[in-house]
Amino acid sequence: MFMEALNLLRIGFIFITGVILLIAVRKKFPQPLQGKNFVTAGWALISLNMLIGAFFHSSLVPESWMHEFYGLVGILSGRVGQPLGLLFLVIGAGRLMHGLNEQLDSKYHSLVHNALVGVYIVQDGRLVYCNPKFAEIFGYSQEALRDLPVKKLVHPEDWSMVSENLDRRLRGEVEALHYELRGLRKNGQEFVAEVFGSRTLHRGRPAVHGTLVDVTERHQIMEKLRQSEGRYRLLIENSPQAVAVFSRERVVFINRSGLLLLGASRPEEVVGRSIYDFVPPEDRPVLKEEKPPRTGTTLRRRILRLDGRIVQVEMAAVAFEFEGEPAVYLIGRDVTREAELERQLRQEQERRQLQNQTLVTLSTSQELWHGNQESVFRDIARAAAETLSVSQVGIWLLSPDGEQLILACQFHLETGSFTQGTVLQTHRFPQYMSALKESRIIDATDAVKDSRTREFSEFYLKPLGIASMLDAPVRLGGRLVGVVCHEHVGQRRQWHPDEQQFAAALADLVSLVLERAEYRRAQAALQESEQRHRTLFESVPVGLYRTTPDGRVIDVNQTMVEMLGYPDKASLVATTADNFYVDKAERARWQEELHRKGILRNYVTRYRRYDGTFIWVRENSRIVRDEAGAVVAYYGSLQDITEKVLAERRLAEEKERLQITLKSIGDGVIATNTAGQVLIMNPVAEQLTGWQEAEAHGHFLGRFFAIIREKENEPVELSPDWFCCPDRLSQLSGAYLLKSRNGEQRPILCTASPMVNEANEVNGCVLVFRDISQQRQLEEEMMKAEKLESLSILAGGLAHDFNNILTAILGNLSLAKMRLKDPSDLLPVLDNAEKASLRARDLTQQLLTFAKGGTPVKKVMSLQQLVTETARFALHGSSVKPEFHIAQDLWSALADEGQISQVLHNLIINAVQAMPHGGRLRIAAKNLQISEPITDQGVRIRPGRYVKITIEDEGEGIPPEILPKVFDPYFTTKKTGTGLGLASCYSIVRRHEGFITLSSKVGKGTRVNIYLPAADQNGKPIDGNGQQRVYRRSGGRILLMDDEPPIRDLVKMVLSEHGFEVVTTGEGQEAVSAFQQARQTGKPFDLVILDLTIPGGMGGAEAIQQIRTIDPHVAAIVSSGYNNDPILGNYARFGFDRCVSKPFRVQELLDAVYELINTSASCAEPAPESRQ
C-alpha cells in the first residue's frame, strides 16, 4: 500500500515539473529562437515515458496487461522514447545558447560602434578590429586600418614601450595597463593618446583589447598652466588685495598686502599661527560654530590686527587642495571706512524715512486744510520734537512791526506739555535776527559760543541747559514772519544735513499755515470791501453805470437816475444805452473810441433826459474783458457839466497837442513845477494813480502820487523842497509800491529827472514810472511752478506706494473669488470690495495724472462697463439721475482705463455742479465710422473708426463769451475751483489721439462729445466682469522680480496654482543672475515679470536689457506702480512684450501670462541641443 502511494506521488511530481519547465522555456526564449521546439519535444517524450513507466508499476494496470504488454512497453519507453527525448533536449539547448550569443553579440557591437572613445583589438602586432571613433582619431577609414601593423600608428620613440606593454599583457604578467603614448595620424601629425588595454581571446587566440582617447588638448592646457603658475604667484605676491591660504585652521601663506592688513612686517609673524589669533575674542565662539565657507562666498568679518586694532574686512573664499590637504583661499580688502559710511548712510536713510513720514502726516492733516492754526502748530511742534529727538521745539512769530518775537507754541518732549505767550524784544538780539533774515537755517552745534545764538546764553541757554540749536526762519512772501526753534538739552549735537532740510521743511509748513490764515483774512476783507463799494456806489455824487456792448443796462446808481430825470431805477434799467444820447450815432463813436483806448477819461457828450431835454456830461468809462479778451461790459461814471462844458472843451483843445505826445508813451508821466504842483499827467499816469489830470492839476504831487518803499513797507513823504533840488529828486528813482486812488497797490519802477531852462536853472520835474505787476506776476508763477513740481514728486511717490498696497489687496480679492466654493453669500461682498479697490486704483491714477500728466498705458477694452460704473460712482449721493443710451454692439477702444475713467469722472462732476437742484444727465455711447473729415464745434475730426461718448446735462450752461476758454489751464468760474479739470480732460483725450468738443446754451445745458479711436476689428475687449477663464495651457518656468514681498508672495501663489514654477527675486541684479544660472543648468525660464522701479537697486528697464543679451527671445512683462512712466506706454521699445500696471487683478496678470506662454507654445519647439 505504501509503495502504491509513493508511485502515485512520483507520477504527480513528474507531471507538474514537466509543465513548469515547458512554460519557463517558452517565456524565457520566445520567437524567433527555434530551439524551444526541440526542448519541448524532448521534455515531452521523457515525461511521457516516465509517466508510462510509473503507470505500469502502479496498481492501476490490470495484471493481465502487465503480462501481455510489459516487454513491449519497456522496449519502446526505456530504450527508444527516453533516449530520443534526451537527444531532442540536447539539440534544443544548443540552439537556444547559439541564439542567445547572437543577441548579445549584436548589442555589444552596437555599443562599441557608437562609443565616444576609440575601441580596438590587437593580435599578432596587427589591428584586427577598431570602431569608427578610433579610425576618426587616426584619420583613416575602418577598412584601411584592418590588419594594419600597430607600429605604423605609434611614434618611433614610443614603440618600444608600447611593444613591451602588449607583450606583458599577452604573457599574462599584468591583467590591464593604463598609459599615455604619442600617436601618428595618417597625415603624419603627432598627438597624445591615453590608452587602456587588457588581455582577451579573439577567435580562440590571445589578443589585447581596450580603449584610446585623444588627450592632446588637455596636455596643451596643462603645459600652459605650468608656464603661467610662476606669473600667477608673482601677481598674487604683488596684488593690492590681501591674499591668504588657510589649512587646518592655520595660516600657510599670506602676501604683502595681507601682512599690511594685519599690521605685520614679515610673513614669519603670521604664517603658522591659528586663524583665531586674528579674530576678536568675542567673535571666536560664533566663528567656531560656523560651517567652512563655500567656494564663491563673499564674507565680511572683523579682523584683529597685531597692534590690537580691529578692522572690517570683506573677503571672498575659494576651497581647494593645498599640498594634499583641504584648504581655503581668501582674497580680502579693508572696508572699515566703507562699513562706517554704510552705517552712517543707513542712519541717514532711517532719519529721512521718519522725517518724510512726519511731513506727509502733517501735510495731509485735516486741521491744516481746515485752518485750525493753534492745533496745527501743536502738531508741528510735537512731531518735530519726536522726529529729531530734541528737548523742546518752539514756533515764534514776529509782530507786525518786527519789534517782538512772540511764542505761539512750544512743546516739551520730556513732560509732553505745551507753553506759549513768551515775548522777546528783537532789538536785544541783532546778530540772531540778522542771521534769520540772511540764512535758510541756523545750525548752532555749540549754541552758547556760536555768534548767531550766543546773545541768548546768559538768560536762556545756560539756565535751561540748552547746548545746541537748530532754527529755521519762516518767510511769507519773501519777508521774515517767524522762526521754528529746535533746542537740544545736554551734550552738544551736530546737526546733519537731512535734519537741517527737515527743519526748513517744517518752517515752510508753518509758512503755509500762516499763508492760509492770511488768505482767509483777505477773503473777509474782500467781502467787507465789496459792501463798502456798494454803499459808495449808491452814495457817490456822480452817476455810475454798467452796460453791455449791445446796449443793455446792467446797473446804475441813484445819482444817475436823478441826473437823467427818470422816475425810478427800474425804468432806467429797462431802456437801452442808445436812448441816452441825443444823437444815437454818438454811442457808436463812443464805443469805437473806447475800444480803441480801452479807457475813456473825461469824455464829453450830450445825454437825453427822461423829459426830452439834454445835458452835457463828462463821462469816464473803461472796458471790462473776460480772460479770453472778449468785451463783456462797460463801466463808467457821469458828471453833469452842462455849465462848464464850453470852458473845459477850450481847455481840452489847448492840451490836446501835449496829450497826443504823452498818450503815445507806455509809461506814466507826470510833470510838476518846482513847488511840486502837477502840470501834466498822461493817461497811463491817470490809470495807474486813479486820478484824472484835471483833478490833480495845480495841486501838490504828494496828494495824488502815494508811493511806498517796498522792502521797508514805509510810505515816502514827498516834500515841496525836493522838486527844486536835483540831488533830492534822484532819491525818487527806484522801485516802489504805488497806492492808487482806490487803495490798490501795484509795484512800479520810477525815474525822476529835473527840468532845466536855457540858464541851467531847475524849473520843474518829470516823473516817469512803469507798472511792473506783470513782471512780478511772472516771477510768482515761476515760484508756483516750483511748488507744483514739489507736490508732483510727493504725489508720484504716494501713488506708487499706494498702488503696491492696492496690488496686494486687489490680487488677494481676485484669488479669494477664484477659490470660493460656494459663491452665493460671499461673492457679492468680494465683488463690491474689488470694485472699491478698482476705484481706489483710479484715484491714484488721477493723482499721477495731476502730478506729471503721464503717457497712457493703452490696451483694448470695452467702454460699456467703465462708463456705467464711473457714472454711478460719481453720481452717488447726488440728486442727479442718469439716462444711459449705450449701443449693445459698442466697439472696443484702445485706451488707458484709469485715465479715461478720470475724464468721465471730471465731466460728470462738472455736470452735477451745474445742476445743484438736481436734474437728468444723459450719457450715450455709440459706434461712429467717419469716411470724410467732419467738424464738431470747430474741431476737425479726421476719418476713422471711433467710439463716441456724449455727456449732456440740463444745467445753467456756459456764456458764449467764456466758452472758448473752458479748456485752458487754470481757467475757472468757481470760487474754489483750480481750473485743471477740463484742461486735464483735454490733455488725456489728445494723448489718446482722440478729440473732445463742448457746446453749451445758457439756461439750457452743456454737451460734451468725446471721440476715442476704436480698436481694430480683430481686437478683443478686456474681460471686465471678473469671470474666471479657462486657459489653453499651463506649466513652465517664470522669473518674478519685485521689491515688495507681499506682491511676490501673491503672484507666486497665483501662478503656482496654475501649474507654473515660479522663482522670485527682490532686485534686478538678482534676477539677471537667476536667469543666467537657469540657462546654465538647462532649466531656462519661459517668461520674466519685472518691476520697473526698485529703490536703491537695478530696475526692470536695465534688467531686461541684460536678460535680452542672454536670451533675446524670452517673453517679458513689465509691471510698475508708477502708471505714468513712459515705459509703460511704450513698453515694446524698451524690450518688453506686455505690461501690467499696478494695482492689477489676478485675471489681468493671468491674461498677460497666458497670452505670452501660449504664443511661445504655438511656435516651433527648438531642438533639445539648442535648449542646453
299 CB contacts (<8 Å, ≥6 apart)? Answer: 293, 314, 315, 316, 317
Confidence (pLDDT) at 392: 93
Confidence (pLDDT) at 1007: 94
Burial of 995 (0-12, 13-18, 19+ CB in 10 A): buried
Give the dihedral sign, CA 684/687/693/696: negative
Pure H helices in 139-255: 142-145, 156-170, 216-237
Average pLDDT over residues 585-596: 88
Average pLDDT over residues 895-913: 86
pLDDT of 579 above 70: yes
Which value, in Å, is the radius of gyration of the alpha carbons in the chain? 52
Question: Got the DSSP string for 678-714?
Answer: EEEE-HHHHHHHS--HHHHBTSBGGGT-EEEETTTTE
Confidence (pLDDT) at 887: 92
- Express each pLDDT in 481-532 by its tens digit: 999 999 999 899 999 888 888 888 888 888 888 888 787 777 877 787 777 7
Answer whether 357's CB lies under 8 Å from 364's CB. no
Pairing of strands 1115-1120, 1138-1141: parallel
Answer whether 395's CB lies under 8 Å from 374's CB. no
Confidence (pLDDT) at 238: 76
Highest-confidence range of 43-52, 104-113, 637-646, by mean pLDDT? 637-646
Question: Got the DSSP string for 440-471?
Answer: S-EEESSTTT-TTTGGGIIIIIHHHTEEEEEE
Nearest to 625 by CA among 302, 361, 962, 927: 962
Residue for cell digits 502840470? 679
User: For 218, what's the count of Cα atoms within 13 Å in the CB-facing half-sphere?
Assistant: 7
How far the first Cα of the chain sits from its last, in Å, is: 80
Answer whether 177's CB lies under 8 Å from 196's CB. yes
pLDDT of 983 above 70: yes
Answer whether 558's CB lies under 8 Å from 567's CB. no
In the chain, the amino acid numbered 257 is: S
Confidence (pLDDT) at 18: 57
268 CB contacts (<8 Å, ≥6 apart)? Answer: none
**Backbone angle region of 421, left / alpha / beta, with phi > 0 → left and psi within -120 to 50 → alpha:** left
DSSP 274: B
Bigger pLDDT: 701 or 32?
701
Answer whether 849's CB lies under 8 Å from 899's CB. yes
794 CB contacts (<8 Å, ≥6 apart)? Answer: 360, 363
Residue for cell digits 486741521? 367
Nearest to 505 by CA among 796, 850, 848, 793: 793
Model confidence at 31, pLDDT cuts 50, 70, 90, reads: very low
Burial of 268 (0-12, 13-18, 19+ CB in 10 A): exposed
Model confidence at 29, pLDDT cuts 50, 70, 90, reads: very low
- Gap between the Cα atoms of 440 and 301, Å rounded: 43
Bigger pLDDT: 336 or 630?
630
DSSP 891: P
Question: Buried (b) or exposed (e) across 621-645, using 16+ Cβ within 10 A?
Answer: bbbeebeeeebebbbbbbbbbeeeb
188 CB contacts (<8 Å, ≥6 apart)? Answer: none
> Quick one: how many helices (H) and strands (E) in the chain?
33, 44
Angle between helices 336-363 and 497-539 (to 10 degrees): 20
Confidence (pLDDT) at 874: 83
Q: What does pTM read for this prediction? A: 0.33
Residue for cell digits 501838490? 700
Highest-confidence range of 87-96, 165-174, 794-803, 948-957, by mean pLDDT? 948-957
- Gap between the Cα atoms of 92 and 73, Å rounded: 26
Confidence (pLDDT) at 1151: 86
Model confidence at 1171, pLDDT cuts 50, 70, 90, reads: very low
Nearest to 381 by CA among 370, 369, 397: 397
Average pLDDT over residues 887-914: 88
**Backbone angle region of 63, left / alpha / beta, with phi > 0 → left and psi within -120 to 50 → alpha:** alpha
Count the neighbouring beta carbons within 10 Å of the beta carbon of residue 1028: 12
- Express each pLDDT in 367-420 by its tens digit: 777 767 888 889 899 988 988 889 999 999 999 888 999 999 999 998 989 999
Of 46-55, 120-129, 905-914, which gets the smallest average pLDDT?
46-55
Average pLDDT over residues 814-837: 68
What does each C-alpha distance from 527 to 523, 532, 739, 991, 1090 come to in angstroms?
Answer: 6, 9, 20, 42, 57
Count the neighbouring beta carbons within 10 Å of the beta carbon of residue 845: 25
Percentage, residues of the chain above pLDDT 90: 19
User: For 86, what's the count of Cα atoms within 13 Å in the CB-facing half-sphere?
Assistant: 8
User: For 389, what's the count of Cα atoms within 13 Å in the CB-facing half-sphere?
Assistant: 8
Average pLDDT over residues 615-644: 88
pLDDT of 732 above 90: no
Whether the link from the prior residue into 1143 is cis, omega within 30° of 0, is: yes
- Express each pLDDT in 74-133 by its tens digit: 565 555 566 666 666 666 656 655 554 555 456 567 778 888 889 999 999 999 999 999
Per the document, the length of the chain is 1172
Answer whether 199's CB lies under 8 Å from 175's CB. yes
Confidence (pLDDT) at 1145: 78
Give the dihedral sign, CA 697/698/704/707: positive
| Average pLDDT of the residues of the chain | 81
**Backbone angle region of 835, left / alpha / beta, with phi > 0 → left and psi within -120 to 50 → alpha:** alpha
Confidence (pLDDT) at 1028: 45
Average pLDDT over residues 1002-1022: 79
Answer whether 24's CB lies under 8 Å from 67's CB. no
What does each C-alpha distance from 342 to 106, 261, 269, 337, 1068 come to in angstroms?
Answer: 71, 21, 32, 9, 21
Average pLDDT over residues 985-1011: 90
Answer whether 449's CB lies under 8 Å from 435's CB. no
- Gap between the Cα atoms of 99 and 92, Å rounded: 11
What does each C-alpha distance from 250 to 325, 703, 733, 889 come to in angstroms?
Answer: 12, 100, 87, 82
- Express each pLDDT in 241-283 by its tens digit: 888 888 888 888 888 888 888 888 888 888 888 888 888 988 8
Pure H helices in 178-335: 216-237, 256-262, 284-289
Angle between helices 823-852 and 981-991 (to 10 degrees): 100
Pure H helices in 80-155: 82-113, 132-138, 142-145
pLDDT of 884 above 90: yes
Average pLDDT over residues 1037-1047: 91
User: For 793, what's the count of Cα atoms within 13 Å in the CB-facing half-sphere?
Assistant: 6
Confidence (pLDDT) at 244: 86
1137 CB contacts (<8 Å, ≥6 apart)? Answer: 1115, 1116, 1117, 1131, 1156
Say whether 1021 sits in a helix, a strand or coil.
coil
What does each C-alpha distance from 1069 to 437, 1065, 1074, 1099 come to in angstroms?
Answer: 49, 9, 9, 9
Of 99-103, 776-780, 814-818, 910-914, which gets the smallest average pLDDT?
99-103
Burial of 27 (0-12, 13-18, 19+ CB in 10 A): exposed
- Gap between the Cα atoms of 813 and 809, Å rounded: 6
- Express each pLDDT in 1148-1168 by its tens digit: 888 889 888 877 655 434 433
